[in-house]
Amino acid sequence: MSLFGKDFICTEDWELEDIQKILVLASEMKKDPHNLRWSSVLKNKSFLMLFYNPSLRTHLSFDMAVSELGGHSIYRSSEMSWSKSKQGIASSEALKDMARVMSRYVDGVGIRMCMNAIKQYGEGHQFVRDFAHFADIPVIGMADDRVHPCQALADVMGWSEKISSENDINALKGKTLLVTWGSSGLARPWAAVQSHLLLAARMGMNIKLAYPEGYALDSEVRQQTKIHCEKNNTTYEEIHDPNVGYEDTHVVYVRNWVTNKAYEQGEFQYQAEVDRSLSLKEWIVTEAKMRKTENAIFANPMPIDRGREAEEAVIDSAYSVIYDVAENRKHAQKALLALIFGA
């Protein structure tokens, strides 16, 4: 099946074999990034990036991916258009008008909308889906309040590389992933965590989800993760103790995320979330905890809050893959862009 023209908003929208096509191509591109085979895949094509929130890795990785494929990337923030508003959603220009006009200007669009750009959970994700509904070109989710599909691609690619010397995309099957909440001075949305839970479960991993009371993720996402585990005859477990779950684990992924009260009163409660998070100092990945694992690799999508989400020694250890995963954002996105609107 051709992937040309297909939106990439959530990995759940794609067949697993098509996601694997991205990962295989990404691995090839990583081994030989400047091969002439893909240096002009996006020749004479443009990719528009709409950012309603600040970004470092997402912006730069997409910018470089488009450039290395021979295309042209364009950056626009909410302040640079009539779609600006304090909350981001109450646009002064109709969304369908934006989508239809942009479809006549560029060949693909990426959208990032979460945190203080929305008034309540789910609005950012719906904005991306509504834009895609009206657009006539491929739309890529560059992180919303619900999912971050490109981060999930980079995650599983990086874990596979570390676990399998041959970069086998099936290397994660049967392995156990511990996703643990971490204390932080930065309040993060659920997107990255939920995306890699869904994809890791589909790829055949056992799932352990550890978090303090009050930090439960989207119930639909957790239920779908359980369903994927049941289909693969793997296990799913939720834990509420910061010291439990490390045993028999092959990947430890730490990430801070907000409570379900983060959007009370129609506004992102950043400081309240940070204050509560900082009071839970026991939720940190330590060397002692990592020693309980099956020589597990350590993962985090970055930015990582050193000394809060994990100890410095863990972050900078030989078993850490945080920089590999960050690099893989570019390679995975190159493969994705090439497949959905490349020549």
Domains of the chain: 11-148+327-341 (3.40.50.1370), 149-325 (3.40.50.1370)
Give the pLDDT score at 165. 72
Question: Which pTM does this prediction carry?
Answer: 0.95
**Lowest mean pLDDT: which of 15-24, 79-88, 323-332?**
79-88
Give the pLDDT score at 251. 98
Give the pLDDT score at 81. 66
Task: Give the residue, 164 or 142, on which the prediction is more confident.
Answer: 142
pLDDT bucket at 89, cuts 50 / 70 / 90: very low
Going 304 to 306 to 309 to 313, the CA torsion angle's sign is: positive
CA distances to 65, 81, 103 from 136, rounded to whole Å, are 22, 20, 6
Q: Give the percent of the chain with pLDDT over 90.
A: 91
Mean pLDDT of the chain: 94
